[in-house]
Amino acid sequence: MTTIKAWLADRRRKYADGLALFNKHASPELKSKFGAYFNEVDSCPAFDGHMTTLVNKLTVIDRDAVIPQSVERKASVGVVSAGKVSAKPSGKAAGKAADNTAPAVKITLADLPDELQGLVKRVREITPLYAAAFTEMASESIADKDRAEVAKEVFNLWCERRAIWEQLDEYAKSKNATLDVGFAKPEPLPSNPLLDGMVLAKKIERLKEKIARTEKAITMHSENGKENLRVAALQRLEKFNMELADLMAKIPQA
């Protein structure tokens, strides 16, 4: 079987291979959180939510695999240093320890795996393109037909940037850290009739994809006799159908 590192580096990687790696190497906690979700499909497109989440989780697993050694070294230093420190911390120090719940570590570009570093570079390419397209879309001199085409470009660039941020942010949270990679979380997409319609259409498209995958998963779980997974999938299907009905009701009537 291929290694996690080799799978992550392969631009033509297959979901099924990554799924096998997750099932083999993931911790019980990760399996309990994501196992059912990942195993409800055996293949999916490169930018499907299953694939992007799987890439993220395997990146975390691969990264964590090399951490125990450094943790052990730090622990050894801590044991040696412990004799030099008061056994009972002062009230001020104890208060700091109790309140120190916020991430103190910052993740920079150099700290990211190669896969995620490439995403940061892509954001740097997107930013000026998005700004230029948005300015053009807002111009009073542009024809309505051309404005609609430019609006599509604005929407697609914004969606790509947001998806990249979410993947980076999830990685940072898995390390109890914050991102310091030269750009902030994307602001919400500005309200605009053209963009609002695209947002609604995208949500409907994604929900229909989720419904189709869930229906397939229900059939698969029924055939495999996995009743617990089938029931869970049925519950998700009911939720997705309700969300879809709400979104469809928002479509302007001609």
Q: Tell me if 154 is assigned to some domain.
A: yes
User: Do residues 119 and 31 share a domain?
Assistant: no
| Closest listed residue to residue 209, CA positions, set 171, 169, 244, 253 | 244
Residue 105: strand pairing partners: 177
Is residue 201's pLDDT more than 70? yes
User: Do residues 169 and 53 share a domain?
Assistant: no
Mean pLDDT of 86-109: 56
User: Do residues 117 and 199 share a domain?
Assistant: yes
Structural domain tally of the chain?
2
Q: Tell me if 37 is assigned to some domain.
A: yes
User: Do residues 147 and 227 share a domain?
Assistant: yes
Residue after which a domain boundary falls, among 16, 37, 67: 67
In this predicted model, what pLDDT tens digit does every residue of 141-172 receive, in sequence order? Answer: 889 889 999 999 999 999 888 888 888 888 88
- Determine the pLDDT at residue 2: 74
- The string of DSSP letters for 220-243 reads HHHHTT-HHHHHHHHHHHHHHHHH
Name residue, tokens 């896969």. Answer: 115
Q: Tell me if 254 is assigned to some domain.
A: no
Q: Tell me if 86 is assigned to some domain.
A: no
What φ, ψ does residue 38 adopt, rounded to 5°? Answer: -65, -40
Query: What would the two tokens of residue 7 be?
Result: 């799978």
Is residue 112's pLDDT more than 60? yes
User: Do residues 60 and 118 share a domain?
Assistant: no
User: Do residues 130 and 218 share a domain?
Assistant: yes
Q: Give the chain's end-to-end CA distance (angstroms, integer).
A: 55
User: Do residues 118 and 191 share a domain?
Assistant: yes
Q: Tell me if 74 is assigned to some domain.
A: no
Is residue 214's pLDDT more than 70? yes
Q: Tell me if 75 is assigned to some domain.
A: no
| Closest listed residue to residue 167, CA positions, set 127, 108, 115, 213 | 115
- Determine the pLDDT at residue 149: 92
Is residue 90's pLDDT more than 70? no
Q: Tell me if 95 is assigned to some domain.
A: no
Mean pLDDT of 176-186: 82
- From the number of C-beta atoms within 10 Å of its C-beta (0-12, 13-18, 19+), residue 168 rates as buried
Residue after which a domain boundary falls, among 48, 67, 86: 67
Domain that residue 173 falls in = 106-248
Q: Tell me if 177 is assigned to some domain.
A: yes
In this predicted model, what pLDDT tens digit does every residue of 6-33 receive, in sequence order? Answer: 888 777 788 899 899 999 998 888 888 7
Residue after which a domain boundary falls, among 38, 67, 96: 67
Stated as kind and residue range, the H or E segment containing 96 is helix 91-99
User: Do residues 113 and 226 share a domain?
Assistant: yes
Angle, to 10 degrees, between the axis of helix 49-64 and the axis of helix 28-39? 160
